[in-house]
Amino acid sequence: MDKRLSLHQELIETLGSNNVYFQPPETLKMKYPCIRYTKERPDVNRADNIRYNRTDHYNLIYITTDPDDKLPEILADRFTYCEIERYYKSNNLTHCSLDLYY
């Protein structure tokens, strides 16, 4: 299975619903709570001018109406290389941005 699709399935399992969206278009009406994620620049390690490791990098945004929701902490605990970056409020919804290397 493709690595990104494997991540997508794990996010669905963690959230407990199908409200997981990969790079959704602006016109898509999302259902909350949800996880929206995009692919970012990968982390590449080099030595002696040779690339020896590349890790895919994703930015996850967890969007919910509940500001006390614990799912961001659950995500950070489930994935070894996942860190909560920040919380913010927009359009009366709580957003949590996470960086994930998968």
- The answer as to whether 7 is a domain residue is yes
Average pLDDT over residues 89-93: 95
**What SS3 state is found at 33?**
coil
pTM of the model as a whole = 0.89
The string of pLDDT tens digits covering residues 12-47 is 999 999 999 999 999 999 999 999 999 999 988 888
| Confidence tier at 101 by pLDDT (50, 70, 90) | very high
Round to whole Å and give the CA distance between 65 and 67: 6
- Which residues form the domain of 68? 3-23+30-40+54-101
- What count of other Cβ atoms lies within 10 Å of the Cβ of residue 19? 16
Domain tally for the chain?
A: 1
The string of pLDDT tens digits covering residues 43-55 is 888 888 888 888 9
Round to whole Å and give the CA distance between 30 and 68: 20
Round to whole Å and give the CA distance between 102 and 80: 9
Round to whole Å and give the CA distance between 102 and 79: 8
Instruction: Give 54 or 58, the one with higher predicted confidence.
Output: 58
| C-alpha R_g of the chain | 15
Round to whole Å and give the CA distance between 26 and 43: 27
| Position 1 pLDDT exceeds 70 | no
